[in-house]
Amino acid sequence: MKERTAYTFAVPAEELGRVERRPWGSSLAGLRRWLESKRWDDALDLSNFAGTDWALLVAVLGLSCLGVLMIYSASLPGRFVPLNEPLNYYAVRQILWMAIGLAAMGLFWTVRYSFWREWSVELLIGSIGVLLLVLLVGDKRYNATRTLFNGSLQPSEFVKLAMILYAAIWLSSKKDKLQSFSFGLIPYGFMFGVVGGLIFAEPDKSTALLLLVVAVVMFIIAGAHPKEVVVILLVIALVAVVTFFSAGYARDRTESFINRWSQPSWADPDDQAYWFIQSLRAGGIFGKGLAGGEVKANVILPHSDGIFAVIGEEFGLVGALVVLGVYMWIARKGLEIARRAPDMMGMLMALGITVWLTLQAFINIAVAVGAVPVTGMPLPFLSYGGSSLISALAGVGVLLNISRYATGEEDPGNASGAVWWRNRRTRLSHPGRR
């Protein structure tokens, strides 16, 4: 019998490794290299909390605790409490969200704000990706698709913070080119146009417009050219007009707001004029006492959008002014942190977060007193909602972290005006590092 000849082939080691490598092994290796590329040694700073703005922390914790109390009071009529659930259903869930939010705040408080520069691309891609996911597989509720996991998660709330961090990183890296349309306004407007457009398509037009306004303020403070400011204002006006004419519910709310006194529908709880009138029911100087109000039995979503109306009736004018004063105090502290930030990126982060939280708060309060049409924006720290509370507390965590590295050049009498020239000063090469 003829013997078979054995043949051998010399395969290079790198080729052999390529043949034996499994797809999941390659993916894990890529993930490991990606994570190793981040400067983790520069992430946490547990050594210095002396510079923390403790007054800001106390104000935010006070509002959050008051929010739990008022959510419980607003839930007592039981109109919106799910069947077979106790009246403290929303309050208990808010406590759970508050615990998660405080953990997020603690994390952002200890992570150096400069570390987020390592994640700038991921912040943008993640924001766009999660918003696309909402449009594709999100939960459809009240003729809108804004949430995931049966309404438990509203990604647009977290996108606000992510895009503020990204905008601060991008603007600080392009500060010498911002006055060029090609390198400043056009790419910046395109990025926020994509993100805002995805939120707009849910539709969540009030959130999209809020994010646009915050982005515009950050861009102007960073050093926009006057011509760019004119273009920005024209774009905002155009977006407002498109919003009004493209959304039937937005147009109906505006028309109801305009005609709320001339032709109020007193007997129709679904009519927006009814909502305004009920929100304006007076609680007197000192209010009717906790759980003693009647507005919560009539207004839409008293534990969420209408929480300030409940506060106004149960704690009266004094209580409403105190809450408004706390938000003004938070705005002041945020601007002080922005002015004292050691670099442009920290200043823009603090400014963006402050504008976001305070503007959203004042819009909600303006709705409650009938100054603007209904927007559906929650009141930060007070309204029921896990996504809103967690993202707001995480944003405060970033503010607290920036305050730890303050330069000490504080001028309480001119905190707001000083922000305008802050970006002109010499910056540190490695913000927050020691």
What per-residue confidence (pLDDT) applies to 129?
Answer: 95
Among candidate residues 402, 419, 391, the one with its CA nearest the CA of residue 210: 391
What per-residue confidence (pLDDT) applies to 40?
Answer: 66
Percent of the chain at pLDDT > 90 equals 41
Q: CA separation (Å) from 429 to 168, 209, 228, 402, 433?
A: 15, 34, 28, 15, 9
Please give the Cα distance from 323 to 292 (Å, whole number): 19
Q: What is the DSSP string of 380-413?
A: TTTSS-HHHHHHHHHHHHHHHHHHTT--S---GG
What per-residue confidence (pLDDT) applies to 326?
Answer: 97
Residue where the block lists tokens 């922390």: 57
Please give the Cα distance from 63 to 66 (Å, whole number): 5
Reported pTM: 0.83
Alpha helix stretches (DSSP H) within 201-343:
205-223, 226-246, 248-258, 272-279, 307-340
What per-residue confidence (pLDDT) applies to 232?
Answer: 81
How does pLDDT run across 55-95, given as a tens digit for each residue?
999 999 999 999 999 999 998 877 788 888 888 999 999 99
Binning pLDDT at 50, 70 and 90, where does residue 421 land? very low
Please give the Cα distance from 286 to 283 (Å, whole number): 7
What per-residue confidence (pLDDT) applies to 432?
Answer: 45
Q: How many helices (H) and strands (E) does the chain have?
A: 15, 2
100 close to 28: Cβ distance less than 8 angstroms? no
How does pLDDT run across 272-303, given as a tens digit for each residue?
555 555 555 556 788 888 877 777 877 778 88
Please give the Cα distance from 80 to 180 (Å, whole number): 52
Alpha helix stretches (DSSP H) within 80-173:
89-110, 120-137, 155-173
Q: What is the mean pLDDT of residues 117-123?
A: 89
How does pLDDT run across 14-43, given as a tens digit for each residue?
444 444 445 555 667 766 665 666 666 678
What per-residue confidence (pLDDT) applies to 97?
Answer: 96
pLDDT at 346 over 60: yes
| Average pLDDT score, the chain | 80
Contacts of 106 (CB under 8 A, 6+ apart): 397
Among candidate residues 280, 267, 131, the one with its CA nearest the CA of residue 198: 131
The domains of the chain are located at 44-422
Q: Could you give the 3-state DSSP secondary structure of residue 74?
A: helix
Q: Hey, which residues does 139 pair with through a beta bridge?
A: 147
pLDDT at 213 over 80: yes
What per-residue confidence (pLDDT) applies to 176?
Answer: 77
CA angle in degrees (0–180, nearest 5) for 257-258-264? 70
Binning pLDDT at 50, 70 and 90, where does residue 267 land? very low
Strand 139-141, strand 144-147: pairing: antiparallel
What per-residue confidence (pLDDT) applies to 263?
Answer: 54
CA angle in degrees (0–180, nearest 5) for 91-95-96? 120
How does pLDDT run across 138-189, given as a tens digit for each residue?
888 877 888 898 888 999 999 999 999 999 999 998 877 887 777 788 889 8
Please give the Cα distance from 284 to 317 (Å, whole number): 6
Binning pLDDT at 50, 70 and 90, where does residue 221 land? very high
Cβ neighbours around 96 below 10 Å, total: 10
Please give the Cα distance from 102 to 375 (Å, whole number): 27
